[in-house]
Chain A
């Protein structure tokens, strides 16, 4: 079966981890939230999202893990901010201070293991199988129109042997 991956989202002050089925952004710190019920007020930010991957299954080495926004037009004044290998803090609507999420593989975020290594070695001592956190946030401005944002698409890439 090779390596199998599952996306995890962390939330709350005590860091509760959930197997995520989406990363809808909104005005609350919650996994799998409903955007229409938790709309982001214009000229504010969404709550930040902390997501990471848990690898299970069979592999030898996983490396070259990358993440980028590959499609989806932003609204006027809207940005998707992102950073790689972030330290988890309780998600909030304060600006993360991160840069715009890369939109091409050449500039993609380089994701390490949770332990900070560039590779995830199967069965190695102290290796959890988790990647580092990708922190994401939607930011809007006064010029951002109300209503639903456009669908965004992300791509993750990794090498496996």
Chain B
């Protein structure tokens, strides 16, 4: 019995494979904005976490500029597109202890003839907070490489 399980065992998750890049903006510009990529340099998301207390906006922007998602850590809102202001009607419930959720899920399918059949990156972006009763609440977007999104859980 010849058993060939051919897998592409090498993968370079290059910058080009990431269709969305993040930027972080801080209160009163006390900290310079941090972009995922500064020229050839890549900044780690840990830098955002390390400065989370000062974080005001976290933006995920398509590299072609066609769409962006913004998380407002002060108001606890997620907006799609380049929205300049938010009507107060959206702010009916006060949110406390607002936290950012962001990670990329990599799904690599390995198949025929040493080829990587697919490498899908799904961006998870959302918020967790406590309502006035202290309940933990969460909203999460799953965004594909083209910018399509669904509201979903992990």
**Residues on A facing B (Cβ under 8 Å):** 1-7, 19-26, 35-36, 39-42, 46, 57-61, 63-64, 70-72, 75, 78, 122, 138, 140, 144-149, 151-161
Contact = CB atoms under 8 A, between A and B. Distances in A.
B2 A4 contact: no
Interface string B1-19: 1111111111111110110
Leading 5 A-B pairs by shortest Cβ distance: A7-B9, A60-B46, A35-B2, A161-B103, A153-B111
A25 B3 CA distance: 6
B144 to A, nearest CB: 15
B104 A25 contact: no
Nearest to B120: A157
Instruction: Kindly state the interface size class of chain B when it binds its partner.
Output: 35 or more
Interface of B: 1-15, 17-18, 42, 44-46, 49, 102-112, 114, 117, 124
Given A71-B111, A153-B117, 14 more contacts: A21-B10, A21-B114, A24-B5, A39-B1, A57-B13, A75-B1, A138-B5, A146-B1, A156-B107, A156-B108, A157-B106, A158-B106, A159-B104, A159-B124
Contacts of A157: 105-108
A41 to B, nearest CB: 8
Contacts of A148: 1-4
Contact of B13 (A5, A35, A46): A5
14 contacts: A4-B12, A20-B7, A21-B8, A21-B114, A23-B7, A35-B4, A40-B1, A60-B44, A60-B46, A71-B111, A78-B1, A149-B2, A153-B111, A156-B108
B117 A59 contact: no
B10 A19 contact: yes
Contacts of A159: 103-106, 124
A17 to B, nearest CB: 13
A6 B4 contact: no
Contacts of B103: 61, 63, 159-161
A4 B42 CA distance: 13
A156 B117 CA distance: 12
B104 A155 contact: no
A155 B103 CA distance: 19
Contacts of A22: 4-7, 9, 114
Interface centre among A22, A41, A149 (most CB of B within 10 A): A22
A31 to B, nearest CB: 10
A46 B3 CA distance: 9
